[in-house]
Copies of this chain bind each other. A is one copy, B any other.
Amino acid sequence: MLKFTTHYFTMTETDALEYARTIPNFFPENASLICQEIGDGNMNYVFRIEDQDTKKSLIIKQAGPTARISDQFKLSTDRNRIETELLKLQNKLAPGLVPLIYHYDELMSCCVMEDLSDHQILRKALLEYKTFPLFSEHITTFLVNTLLLTSDVVLNHKEKKSLVKNFINPKLCEISEDLVYTEPFFDCKNNEIFPLTKAFAQAELWSDDAFRLETAKLKFEFMANAQSLIHGDLHTGSIFVTPQSTKIIDPEFGFYGPAGYDIGNVIANLIFAYLHADAEITDFIQKSKYLEWLTKTIKEIIDLFSLKFTASWQKHVTEPTANYPGFAEYYLSSILRDTAAVTGLELCRRIIGLAHVADITSIRNMNKRLRAEKIGLTMGKHFITNRTTIKSGQDFINVLTSTIAKITPLNTDI
């Protein structure tokens, strides 16, 4: 259709419906299609198109040229290429754990992909206190396969360098550099800190030079350490789940960075779910059971990651130098160190910085929210400062439980 082949424009629902008809071999000719824009992010348009007769459906995701809230905030539409190519690669490395890509259109900066409407966003599901017994199994397979198999220890060194080049992602890396590594660590005007928490951040983080120095080291490692092709934004809002299935979406922040970045993001966001449940669930037994499941899941993710990483290393690493005695343990240990650091960074930045998480902002009682934020920041600082000593699932849980025990519950209205 000529309409979509001459120049880029942002599509309406009607355009997207027309566009869907151009995808070969998907919908029958003259299918009764309906289209709905379901995007809730700030940068992209997401259209769901369904055939009313067969119920067959697909998703069209189009990158906007500017942020949806303000056209002052220019964005590169190249992120749609990065997302599409990364989803295709991830589907080879970790089959079944990402949505399938049907089509990519460079001119329109859009991709057509599998509809996952039968899944639910993990963050939302956790706020409904649902459990997902297979999640730790699935996410650790995704993490090991995408992180280890794209690194220099497995991949042909020349192939790895061409991937580094292909996934240079300056615009989206800049967002992480600013929002994760810079703004949360001083009284920046872009921060949107809960007023009650500000004095705590000032006293505990912003005025602690030794702590801030550690965040600076991590920032420059994030920018220079081209270790693995990471997802780059692997919070619980980038994960679709059912009890049987896990699908990781939205890798538009992907680039070659520290492997621990993705793992740390998963862990920190499970901790946010924990802080939410701890503050909000009133029934003692329900709360204990749910926190126990979250604790078990966090612990399992670290320990299963380490186990599967080691097994995958034995299977895939043929690089002679990487097989020197002690190197696999050194390498895994450096990933776990970075995991602890990023867990801490994500905890701090989601409380202090521009982009908050519903797990915290939906805590209704102000004192409980304040307590949850103090716990998050205290833990965050601990994870960053003590990153070299936090290695096992139990080490991560110890930071969580000991910090919670330390921060006194405040008077509440409940």
- Chain A contacts to B: CB under 8 angstroms: 152-153, 157-158, 160-162, 164-165, 168-171, 173-174, 177, 181-182, 185-186, 209-210, 212-213, 215-217, 219-220, 223-227, 320-322, 324-327, 330-331
Query: Which B residues are in CB contact (< 8 Å) with A162?
Result: 168, 170
- Whether A152 and B182, one on each chain, are in contact in the complex, defined by CB atoms closer than 8 angstroms, is no
**Smallest CB separation, A208 vs chain B (Å):** 11
CB contact under 8 A between A209 and B152, given known A168-B165, A170-B158: no
A-B contact pairs, 21 of them (CB 8 A): A153-B220, A157-B177, A158-B171, A161-B173, A162-B170, A164-B164, A181-B321, A185-B321, A186-B320, A210-B326, A212-B324, A213-B324, A213-B325, A213-B326, A213-B330, A216-B322, A216-B327, A219-B321, A220-B331, A224-B227, A225-B226
CB contact under 8 A between A161 and B157, given known A224-B152, A320-B182: no
- Whether A174 and B158, one on each chain, are in contact in the complex, defined by CB atoms closer than 8 angstroms, is yes
**Smallest CB separation, A239 vs chain B (Å):** 27
With A157-B170, A165-B168, A182-B321 known, 17 other A-B pairs at CB within 8 A are A152-B220, A153-B220, A157-B174, A157-B177, A158-B170, A158-B171, A161-B173, A185-B321, A209-B324, A209-B325, A210-B326, A213-B327, A213-B330, A215-B321, A216-B321, A216-B327, A224-B225
Query: Which B residues are in CB contact (< 8 Å) with A186?
Result: 320
- Whether B170 and A326, one on each chain, are in contact in the complex, defined by CB atoms closer than 8 angstroms, is no
**Smallest CB separation, A370 vs chain B (Å):** 28
Q: Complex: how many Å from CA A160 to CA B226?
A: 14
Chain B residue with minimal CB distance to A322? Answer: B216
| A152 CB contact (under 8 Å) in B160, B212, B223 | B223
- Whether B322 and A220, one on each chain, are in contact in the complex, defined by CB atoms closer than 8 angstroms, is yes
Q: Complex: how many Å from CA A185 to CA B170?
A: 37
Query: Which B residues are in CB contact (< 8 Å) with A168?
Result: 161-162, 164-165
Query: Which B residues are in CB contact (< 8 Å) with A331?
Result: 220
Q: Complex: how many Å from CA A227 to CA B223?
A: 8
Q: Complex: how many Å from CA A113 to CA B322?
A: 41
Q: Complex: how many Å from CA A164 to CA B395?
A: 37
Chain B residue with minimal CB distance to A213? Answer: B326
**Smallest CB separation, A5 vs chain B (Å):** 29
Chain B residue with minimal CB distance to A186? Answer: B320
Query: Which B residues are in CB contact (< 8 Å) with A164?
Result: 164, 168
CB contact under 8 A between A324 and B216, given known A157-B170, A161-B168: yes
Chain B residue with minimal CB distance to A164? Answer: B168
**Smallest CB separation, A371 vs chain B (Å):** 29
Q: Complex: how many Å from CA A171 to CA B331?
A: 25
- Which of A152, A213, A324, A331 neighbours the largest number of chain B CB atoms within 10 Å of its CB? A324
Query: Which B residues are in CB contact (< 8 Å) with A157?
Result: 170, 173-174, 177, 223
Q: Complex: how many Å from CA A380 to CA B125?
A: 57
**Smallest CB separation, A133 vs chain B (Å):** 36
Q: Complex: how many Å from CA A79 to CA B229?
A: 26
**Smallest CB separation, A256 vs chain B (Å):** 8
**Smallest CB separation, A339 vs chain B (Å):** 17
Query: Which B residues are in CB contact (< 8 Å) with A224?
Result: 152, 225-227
Query: Which B residues are in CB contact (< 8 Å) with A177?
Result: 157
Those 10 A-B pairs whose CB atoms lie nearest each other, nearest first: A158-B170, A161-B170, A165-B168, A216-B321, A213-B326, A152-B223, A216-B324, A216-B327, A224-B226, A224-B227
Query: Which B residues are in CB contact (< 8 Å) with A158?
Result: 170-171, 174
| A327 CB contact (under 8 Å) in B217, B226, B327 | B217
